[in-house]
Structure 1
Amino acid sequence: MTKEHANWSPYDNNGGSCVAIAGADYCVVAADTRMSTGYNVLSRDYSKICKLADKAVLASSGFQADIKALQKHLAARHLIYQHQHNKQMSCPAVAQLLSNTLYYKRFFPYYAFNVLGGLDTEGKGCVFTYDAVGSYERVGYSAQGSGSTLIMPFLDNQLKSPSPLLLPAQDAVTPLTESEAIDLVKTVFASATERDIYTGDGLEVVVLNRDGIRREYMELRKD
């Protein structure tokens, strides 16, 4: 097992990779479709992306049973919110809910590494990245999963996100157009697939903008 897989047990299901990029008026969330355990591929057409609200999409990598339990819990909490407030949660509200949910389970955490993407109340793209116990940050782009150590340096080189320590604070959204962001996501996955055995088979890309949500698919290598 190579160094980039050091944090991943060979018995994890659904390793893979997830990426999100926020733009001025859009957000792109993408994940590969391979579900595997060690060197066994269980499915080549499995979606790692879950729609939580009209303007919030969650991509998760990690242990499949924990991811499903987490998604089911979030869906139930969002349904309660809709009944109480007669509206859907905004993406920043979903981000706080996810953080609280993960932190509540911090002593027996969900083995799930999440990246949440969507549009905020002003219509700007937003991306929130998490660790396993709920610590999160709003960023311009992020990657999670077994391929993240390969993907993040590529994104850092291309997007050059401003430091959160800069004063005055700078907007974290990326300067790319929507089509450029989609092309970049496809490029980083094609690259990661060459080096990460848990990433491959297919790529699912979800694009959120003022017109709603649409999905695109691309083939990746299958070996």
Structure 2
Amino acid sequence: MVGLNSIVGNISGADTMKETPSGFSPYADNGGTIVAVAGDDFVVIASDTRLSVGYSIYTRGQSKLFKLSSKTVLGCSGCWCDTLSLTRLLEARMQMYLHDNNKQMSTPAVAQLLSTLLYYKRFFPYYVSNILAGLDSEGKGAIYSYDPVGHCEMSNYHAGGSAGALLQPLLDNQLGFKNMQNVTPEPLTIEKAVNIIKDAFIGATERDIYTGDGIHINVISQDGFNEEFFPLRKD
């Protein structure tokens, strides 16, 4: 009998999948990229719309963003069946909280809940890359990124998924102003954040076969919730 550790393999890096001698693996990587940028009073999160495995494209129109409340959006990429299982469980827990407390769960509370749910499954982790974006209790933009077992890090920008390693250095340069000299940072606006995200995805599409077709963009601000679609190359 093959043990669970042999089946799961080294999942901590979310890059490798170990198969059993029969060739079976409980995980499949369906690709996709998530990018989020937070400002003083807004947050922008975007995902591509390609769902694929290997060189086969299942669909070109599947968003990987899940609106959890009027101020919180979760972006998930990776194994699509794990994505659906995790998001449905998270939405159910938030619905229970709403019925018990007569109010929506705040973004920091959702971040903690998601971390707990991921840690609960640490011995057979969800094979997904998660980025949670929203407005905190003070109305400021907040972004939370996770590893497969629930470790959480809060930041002002983050890229995850199949092209995350390609896009993170770009965000470090354009938003974190790292490795730049004699630069005076200007206040980040929604328009600038959206343009940087579009440019990042255009570049990722040229280098990553699992990213493409289009970008689904969600903007959360004090003025409300807005959605936008931006097409990408389809080859």
In the superposition, relative to structure 1, how do residues 8 and 147 fare at CA in structure 2: closer, same or farther (>3 Å)? farther
Residue 122 of structure 2 corresponds to residue 110 of structure 1: no
Q: Which of 199, 208, 219 is the matching residue for 1:196?
A: 208
Q: How does 1:159-174 map to 2 (within 5 A)?
A: 159-160=175-176
In structure 1, stretches of 5+ residues that fail to align are 1-5, 163-173
In structure 2, stretches of 5+ residues that fail to align are 1-13, 18-26, 179-185
1:87 corresponds to: 103
CA distance in structure 2 between the aligned counterparts of 1:59 and 1:43, rounded to whole angstroms? 18
RMSD after superposition: 1.8
State whether residues 28 and 205 of structure 1, in contact with CA within 8 Å, keep that contact through their aligned partners in structure 2: yes
Q: Which of 176, 190, 193 is the matching residue for 1:178?
A: 190
1:7 corresponds to: 15
SS of equivalent to 2:207: coil
1:168 corresponds to: none
1:205 corresponds to: 217
2:147 corresponds to: 131
**TM-score scaled by length of structure 2:** 0.85
SS of equivalent to 1:194: helix
CA distance in structure 2 between the aligned counterparts of 1:190 and 1:74, rounded to whole angstroms? 31
Which AA in structure 2 matches 1:128? Y
SS of equivalent to 1:7: coil
CA distance in structure 2 between the aligned counterparts of 1:161 and 1:207, rounded to whole angstroms? 23
Deviations 1:2-31 (A, max 9, x none): xxxx9266x834311000001001000000
C-alpha deviation, 1:87, in angstroms = 0.2
Structure possessing the higher radius of gyration over alpha carbons = 2
State whether residues 12 and 38 of structure 1, in contact with CA within 8 Å, keep that contact through their aligned partners in structure 2: no
CA distance in structure 1 between the aligned counterparts of 2:78 and 2:191, rounded to whole angstroms? 29
Aligned residues: 207
C-alpha deviation, 1:161, in angstroms = 7.0
Deviations 1:117-163 (A, max 9, x none): 0000000000000011100011000011010011000000111179x
Q: How does 1:24-173 map to 2 (within 5 A)?
A: 24-160=40-176
Which AA in structure 1 matches 2:54? G
Deviations 1:73-94 (A, max 9, x none): 0011000100111000111110
2:3 corresponds to: none
C-alpha deviation, 1:72, in angstroms = 0.5
State whether residues 207 and 215 of structure 1, in contact with CA within 8 Å, keep that contact through their aligned partners in structure 2: yes
State whether residues 20 and 30 of structure 1, in contact with CA within 8 Å, keep that contact through their aligned partners in structure 2: yes
How many percent of aligned residue pairs carry the same amino acid? 52
CA distance in structure 2 between the aligned counterparts of 1:175 and 1:40, rounded to whole angstroms? 42
CA distance in structure 1 between the aligned counterparts of 2:128 and 2:80, rounded to whole angstroms? 8
SS of equivalent to 1:65: helix
CA distance in structure 2 between the aligned counterparts of 1:149 and 1:8, rounded to whole angstroms? 15
Deviations 1:52-72 (A, max 9, x none): 111110001110000000001
State whether residues 12 and 36 of structure 1, in contact with CA within 8 Å, keep that contact through their aligned partners in structure 2: no
Which AA in structure 2 matches 1:97? L
In the superposition, relative to structure 1, how do residues 88 and 161 fare at CA in structure 2: closer, same or farther (>3 Å)? farther
